[in-house]
Amino acid sequence: MRADRLVAALLLMQSRGRVTAAELAGELEISVATARRDLEALSAAGVPVYPQPGRGGGWSLVGGARTDLSGLSATEAQALFLLAGPAAAVSDEIKAALRKLVRALPQTFRADAEAAAGATMTDPTRWGERDRHRPGTVGLLQTAVIRRRKVRLTYQGRDRQRTERLIDPWGLVDKDDIWYLIAGTERGRRTFRVDRIVQAEPTDLPAERPDDFALAAAWQEVVGEVEQRRSRTWATVLIEPRYVPILADQFGRHCEVVATEGERARVRLGAPTALDIARHLAGWGALVEVVEPSPVQAELARIGGELTARYGPTG
């Protein structure tokens, strides 16, 4: 896991003072190219790591060969914990590493560093859609979460209507490159898609957050609610196994392989309505056979009839 390697690289530089990409690759059992990219990622994130070219060169921490993390500024410490924090949610080793790093920080930096570690998490399973563009608002919201400051949002919902609201930012989740903000509002906890935030204005008002709030637990509740809405209708289909990965790419976690029957796989597909499933499958033509339910079959027949009427010989 990359965040694990970044923390390990930083600790190695602390102990040795200077390392080459080759030495780091040997220690972490990765390629030299990967080691070089990790070192560059630390530098780009604001951690004071810099290369020294030439014979006897390598990568060092600003401040000397035997420095501790007191050489980090508050912003640099936050940058490091933002990098490693999401991975700590699923790795006990990274949690332990972050605890050690916190103890090495100046006392005045510790609260913000710990807040940064818990400000963001990653959920790699997507909901059948993808957006590789990271919204510029993410950085602003991360800062608001860490500093516990309210944010004034202009938000555009699915119906294209815009609303303004003052929210308490609690945490951010990167779900396969689609970002979500979990926040407190006057109506309780709400989840916002960050790419639908038209404008975000930080304020100096202190934000409130429940003392027992845990980002990972809150996100699991959100996922459960969304999954319940997204999987109200299930269909069973037969398809050649080689096409199953493409179906999985379309339906995300709502694609379950039940069994293999001869040369075809039996797969269950979920979506909010029968029409949603039919729309996804219509382009497959005869490559997919819908076994059940009948509402999905009926929607496919209707779509096929519409296409024939418009594009057939007499259309």
Domain boundary among 61, 91, 118: 118
Tally of domains within the chain: 3
Higher local confidence (pLDDT), 268 or 127: 268
Whether 226 is covered by a domain: the verdict is: no
- Which residues are registered as beta bridge partners of 197? 155
Whether residue 224 is contained in a domain is answered as no
Torsion on CA atoms 86, 90, 95, 98, rounded to nearest 10: -20
Q: Does residue 161 share a domain with residue 97?
A: no
**For the residues of 193-242, what is the DSSP string, one character each?**
EGGGEEEEEEEEEEPP--TT--HHHHHHHHHHHHHHHHTSEEEEEEE-GG
Q: Which amino acid is at 42?
A: L
Bigger pLDDT: 227 vs 240: 240
> Is 49 domain-assigned?
yes
List the domain range (segments joined by +) for residue 43: 2-118
Within a 13 Å sphere around the CA of 1, how many CA atoms are in the beta-carbon half? 17
171-218 pLDDT, tens digit each: 988 887 788 999 999 989 999 999 999 999 999 999 999 988 988 889
CATH of the domain at 83: 1.10.10
Residues with Cβ within 8 Å of 143's Cβ and at least 6 positions away in sequence, in order, are 202
Residue 235 sits in the same domain as residue 186: no
Q: Give the per-residue pLDDT at 65.
A: 35
246 pLDDT above the threshold of 80: yes
Could you write out the DSSP letters of every residue in 116-150? HHTTEEEE----S----PPPTHHHHHHHHHHHTEE
Is 66 inside a domain boundary?
yes
CB 169 within 8 A of CB 144: yes
Of the candidates 118, 139, 168, which is a domain's last residue? 118
Do the domain assignments include residue 225? no
In a domain, 154, yes or no: yes
Tell me which residue of 113, 112, 116, 117 sits closest to 85, measured CA to CA. 117
Q: Are residues 287 and 306 in the same domain?
A: yes
pLDDT for 66 equals 39
Q: Return the CA Rg of the chain.
A: 25
Weakest-pLDDT range from 3-12, 188-197, 243-252: 3-12
**Does 300 lie in the same domain as 210?**
no
Written as six digits, the tokens of 45 are 């994130």
The pair of three-digit structure tokens given for residue 123, joined into one six-digit string: 């959920």
- Taking alpha carbons only, the member of 196, 183, 99 closest to residue 148 is 183
Mean pLDDT of the chain: 80
Residues 74 and 146 in one domain: no
Residues in the chain: 315
Q: Could you read off the pLDDT of 253-263 as tens digits, one per residue?
A: 789 999 998 89
Same domain, 245 and 298: yes
* For residue 5, pLDDT beyond 50: yes
pTM, full prediction: 0.48
Quick: pLDDT tens for 139-162.
Answer: 899 889 888 899 999 999 888 899
Mean pLDDT calculated for residue range 86-92: 57
Q: Are residues 99 and 131 in the same domain?
A: no
Cis peptide before 293 (omega within 30 of 0): yes
Q: Indicate whether 303 belongs to any domain.
A: yes
Q: Which residues contact 230 (CB under 8 A, 6 or more apart)?
A: 127, 254, 270, 271, 272
CA distances from 206 to 125, 151, 166, 267 (A): 33, 10, 12, 50
Residue ending a domain, choose from 155, 189, 219: 219
Do 164 and 107 reside in the same domain of the chain? no
Q: Are residues 22 and 109 in the same domain?
A: yes
Candidate from 19-33, 52-66, 219-233 with smallest mean pLDDT = 52-66
95 located within any domain: yes
* Helix and strand totals (H; E) in the chain: 11, 13
- In this predicted structure, the answer to whether residue 132 has a pLDDT above a threshold of 60 is no
**Contact status, residue 150 vs residue 166, Cβ threshold 8 Å:** yes
Q: Does 105 share its domain with 129?
A: no
Residues 97 and 6 in one domain: yes
Q: CATH number for the domain including 169?
A: 2.30.30.520
In this structure, the answer to whether residues 73 and 155 fall within a common structural domain is no
